Amino acid sequence: MKMKQDENLVAFPQFPESYWLASTDVPNFPKLNEDIQVDVAIVGAGITGITTAYLLSKKGLNVAVVDAGRILHGTTGHTTAKITAQHDLIYSEFLSHFGKEKTRLYYEANRDALEFIRQTVEENHIDCQFTEEDAYVYTSADTHVEKISDEYKAYKELGIPGSYVEQTPLPFSTKAAIMMENQAQFNPVPFLRYLANQVIRQGGKIYEQTTVVGVDKGNPAIIKTSDGHKITCNHVVSSSHFPFNDPNSLYFARLHAERSYVLAVKTDKTYPGGMYLSAETPKRSLRSVLINGEPMVIVGGEGHKTGQGICTFQYYEALEKFAEQTFGLKEIVYRWSAQDLYSLDKLPYIGQELADVPNILLATGYRKWGMTTSVAAALLNTNLITRKESPYQDLFSPSRFHADPDIKTFVTQNANVAKHLIAGKLGISHKKAEELQQDEGAVIRLNGKRAGAYRDLQGTLHLVDTTCTHMGCEVDWNEAERTWDCPCHGSRFSYQGEVIEGPAKKALGKVEAE
Ligand code: FES
C-alpha cells in the first residue's frame, strides 16, 4: 500500500482507525442463541438503533437490538460527529422543492434532536467532549456567493437563527459564509455507550454478531436470523442503513451510498473554534477535537459514490494537503472513512417501511447528517410505536413521493447502476496473482477469469469471486481500506470476502488458487 507520495508530507497511519472507537471501551454483547419474544425488535446498533432502544425501554417496553457485527462500529463510529441542523446549503433548496411548512419542520426535527442530545448529556453528566460551537458553511469562490446569500434569505424566511458574514474565523480568506449559532460537537461513542448501558438497566437486550435474514410480516412479526433463531415481536425497527427486509419496496434503488474520509491531525496553527463546511466541492469539513488532552483538528471531505472512486488513498492525500496549507501539519494521528446513504429527494426515510404494514418501521438516508437525523428518527419512530402523533411523520414518511426531484434522480441513479453492472462484467484485468506485492490488492486474471486478490502483510494470497452477492455487479478493490466495494448499491466486503456493509447479506464466493 502507498503510504506517502510526497516526501514533504507527513506519514499516514498504516491502518484506518476511528478516534471515537479507539478512545472508548465499547462493551461486548452476546450473540443471539435462542428464540425470544419482545415488544420491539431493532435491527442495527448504531446511533439510531441504540437511541430508539433507549427511548422505548425508558417507556417500559421490552426491546431487543441485534447487529450483524459490533455495536457502534458502522457509520456511527466513523462520523465527524457534528451535531447541527445546518446540513450544508439545504434550506433554500428545500424551500423551493417542499415549501415553507415542510422545510421549517425539517429544521425543527433536527433542532429538537440537538436539544435531546444536549439535555441527555447534561442531565446524566456524560463525559463525551460535548461542546457548543457555531456552524458555518463558507465559500472562497465567487461562484458560490449567491448561493450563500440565498441560504441566508431562506434562514430569515424560516426564522432560523443565523448570520451572513464575509470572513469566518478560519485562517484563510473567504468570500461569504452563513453561520448557525449554538450548534454542537461531541464524541458519539461514550454518549452511546451510556445509552446502551441504560438499555440493559431498563431491561432491554442487545445482541452482536447476529445477522437478520428475513421477517415474516404479521402481528406479531417474526424476525429470522442466519443461525435459525426467531424474534417474535409487535414492532420491528430497521435501522441498519439498507432495510434488511426489501423484497418489494426496492429501497436499494431509492438509496445510493457515498464514502467520505477523515483525518485527525496535530497542527502548527491554533484552531479558531467553530465547525466549518465548504459550500463548493471538493468538500472540506473542519472541527476541533481533544486527543489525550491535546487540541487537534478533524479534517473531512472528498465524498464519492462507493466503489466508484479511483485510487482511494488519494482522498486522504487531498485532505492532508488541505490541512497542511490551512494550519501547517505536524502529525496525522488517525485516519478513517465513513459510508452514508442518500435518498432520492435528500430527505431521510423514517416511519412505516411499507404503507400497508404498520408495525415495520424504517430509518435511513441521512446523507452525511446522521448525528441529528438519527435522533430525530429515534424520537419519531418511538412516537409511532407508542401511538403518539408526530408533526414529522408525513414529512419523513418512506412512502412519500415527491415528483420533483425524485423521478429524475431515480432514473439517473439506476442508469448509473446499470452502467456499472455492464461495465464491471466487461472489464478485463491482465494482472496476475504473482505480480501482487505484500499489502496489495487488485482484480486479477486467474485461469482466464476475473478474481479478486489481496496479498497480506505476511505474503498470504486471499482470493474472492468479485461478483457482488446482492445483485451481481462486480466489486472493486479499495486500496485505502483494504476492502472490496460494490459500485451499484454500496455493499462492502473484507479482503476475505465477509460482509462489512449491506445490502448484501452473503459473503463473496471463494476462489481456489491453482
Ligand atoms: Fe447491489 Fe452490489 S450492492 S449489486
Written as nine digits, the cell of 177 is 459564509
φ and ψ at 193, to 5 degrees?
-60, -40
- What is d(CA 361, CA 381) in angstroms, rounded to the nearest whole number? 7
The residue among 10, 53, 112 whose CA lies nearest residue 372 is: 112
Does ligand 1 have an atom closer than 6 angstroms to the CB of 508? no
Q: What is the mean pLDDT of residues 365-372?
A: 93
DSSP category for residue 64 = E
- Ligand 1 mutation pick, 339, 478, 489, max ligand atoms within 8 A of CB: 489
Residue type, 471: M
4 pLDDT more than 50:
no
Does ligand 1 have an atom closer than 6 angstroms to the CB of 235? no
Q: Give residue 248's pLDDT.
A: 61
Q: Mean pLDDT over all residues of the chain? A: 90
Q: Which helix (H) or strand (E) holds 191?
A: helix 188-201
Q: Which atom number of ligand 1 is nearest to the Cα of residue 475?
A: 2
- What is d(CA 253, CA 412) in angstroms, rounded to the nearest whole number? 11
Find out whether 499 and 505 touch, Cβ atoms under 8 Å. Answer: yes
Spatial CB neighbours of 26, under 8 Å, sequence gap ≥ 6:
70, 71, 72, 73, 189, 193
C-alpha distances out from residue 103 to 135, 157, 295, 378, Å: 19, 10, 36, 20
The residue among 180, 188, 179, 233 whose CA lies nearest residue 66 is: 233
Tens digit of pLDDT for each residue in 316-326?
999 999 999 99
Residue nearest to atom 3 of ligand 1 (CA): 489
Does ligand 1 have an atom closer than 6 angstroms to the CB of 489? yes
- Ligand 1 mutation pick, 339, 467, 469, 471, max ligand atoms within 8 A of CB: 471
- Gap from CA of 488 to ligand 1 centroid (Å): 5
Residue nearest to atom 4 of ligand 1 (CA): 471
- What is d(CA 24, CA 127) in angstroms, rounded to the nearest whole number? 11
Tens digit of pLDDT for each residue in 464-506?
999 999 888 889 998 888 999 998 888 999 999 999 988 888 8
Tens digit of pLDDT for each residue in 399-423?
886 545 555 555 555 556 655 555 5
Find out whether 225 and 212 touch, Cβ atoms under 8 Å. Answer: yes
Does ligand 1 have an atom closer than 6 angstroms to the CB of 370? no
Q: What is the mean pLDDT of residues 287-314?
A: 88
Q: Give residue 349's pLDDT.
A: 95
327 pLDDT more than 70:
yes
User: To the nearest whole percent, how much of the chain has pLDDT over 90?
Assistant: 71
Does ligand 1 have an atom closer than 6 angstroms to the CB of 470? yes
Q: Hunting for cell 506485492 — which residue is that?
A: 437
- Gap from CA of 346 to ligand 1 centroid (Å): 21
Q: Which atom number of ligand 1 is nearest to the Cα of residue 486?
A: 2
Q: Give residue 310's pLDDT.
A: 67
- Gap from CA of 472 to ligand 1 centroid (Å): 6
- What is d(CA 505, CA 495) in angstroms, rounded to the nearest whole number? 16
Q: Which atom number of ligand 1 is nearest to the Cα of residue 468?
A: 2
Q: What is the mean pLDDT of residues 421-438?
A: 68
Long-range contacts of 472-475 (CB under 8 A, 24+ apart): 472/421, 473/417, 473/420, 473/421, 473/424, 474/420, 474/424, 474/425, 474/427, 474/443, 474/450, 475/307, 475/508
164 pLDDT more than 90:
yes
H helical segments located in 295-441: 313-327, 370-385, 393-396, 403-426
Q: Give residue 400's pLDDT.
A: 81
Written as nine digits, the cell of 35 is 428464540
Q: Which atom number of ligand 1 is nearest to the Cα of residue 504?
A: 3
The residue among 290, 298, 292, 284 whose CA lies nearest residue 334 is: 298
Long-range contacts of 286-290 (CB under 8 A, 24+ apart): 286/170, 287/80, 287/81, 287/82, 287/133, 287/185, 288/185, 289/19, 289/129, 289/185, 289/187, 289/264, 290/129
Written as nine digits, the cell of 465 is 469471486
Cα-to-chain-centroid distance, residue 193: 18
Q: Where are the beta strands (DSSP E) in 268-308?
A: 275-278, 284-291, 294-305
Sign of the four-CA dihedral 240, 245, 247, 249: negative
Does ligand 1 have an atom closer than 6 angstroms to the CB of 473? yes
DSSP category for residue 236 = E
Cα-to-chain-centroid distance, residue 481: 16
Q: Hunting for cell 505480480 — which residue is that?
A: 435
Q: Give residue 403's pLDDT.
A: 46
- Gap from CA of 349 to ligand 1 centroid (Å): 20
299 pLDDT more than 50:
yes
Model confidence, pTM: 0.88
Judged by average pLDDT, the poorest of 14-18, 364-368, 509-513 is 509-513
Q: Which helix (H) or strand (E) holds 98?
A: helix 91-98
- Gap from CA of 243 to ligand 1 centroid (Å): 14
- Gap from CA of 485 to ligand 1 centroid (Å): 9
Tens digit of pLDDT for each residue in 328-360?
999 999 999 998 888 889 999 999 988 889 999
Peptide bond into 282 cis (omega under 30): yes
Separate counts of helices (H) and strands (E) for the chain: 10, 24
Q: Give residue 428's pLDDT.
A: 57
Find out whether 274 and 169 touch, Cβ atoms under 8 Å. Answer: yes
- Ligand 1 mutation pick, 486, 501, 508, max ligand atoms within 8 A of CB: 486
- What is d(CA 24, CA 387) in angstroms, rounded to the nearest whole number? 36
Q: Hunting for cell 442463541 — which residue is that?
A: 33
Q: Where are the beta strands (DSSP E) in 204-254?
A: 205-207, 212-216, 221-225, 230-238
**Cβ neighbours around 23 below 10 Å, total:** 16
Q: Give residue 385's pLDDT.
A: 97
Q: Give residue 271's pLDDT.
A: 97
